[in-house]
């Protein structure tokens, strides 16, 4: 999985938006939502990494592990799908040049 920190993602997205014209309000809204979703994903991943570490150290039961794994996976799938939908919407709206 590729991990983006907020400054890297902003730099990448800024480089994709044409410097010759102002981005539309719709594009700004889409990019803002993408950044927010990616931030939530990163926080959730870091939180789940703690659970993984605790599991390796024997501090988390199998039942708790499975519960947390399925909760995280469900949330990650929903967030990733939302981000993908927004990237597609940005492409259709020519937000990235």
- Indicate the domain borders of the chain: 23-92
Q: How far apart are the first and last CA of the chain?
A: 25
DSSP label at 19? S
DSSP label at 21? S
DSSP label at 24? P
Q: Is the pLDDT of residue 90 over 70?
A: yes
Q: Is the pLDDT of residue 36 over 80?
A: yes
Q: What is the model's pTM?
A: 0.73
The CA-atom distances, in angstroms, between 44 and each of 21, 24, 51 are 35, 30, 11
**For position 9, what pLDDT does the model report?**
57
The alpha helices in the chain, defined as continuous H runs, are 6-16, 25-56, 62-92
């Amino acid at each position: 999985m590729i991990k983006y920190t907020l400054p890297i993602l902003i730099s990448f997205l800024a480089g994709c938006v044409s410097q010759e014209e102002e981005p539309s309000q719709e594009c700004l809204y889409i990019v803002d939502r993408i950044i927010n979703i990616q931030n939530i994903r990163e926080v959730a991943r870091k939180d789940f990494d703690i659970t993984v570490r605790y599991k390796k150290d024997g501090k988390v039961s199998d039942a708790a592990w499975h519960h947390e794994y399925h909760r995280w996976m469900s949330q990650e799938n929903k967030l990733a799908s939302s981000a993908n939908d927004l990237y597609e919407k940005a492409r259709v709206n020519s937000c990235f040049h």
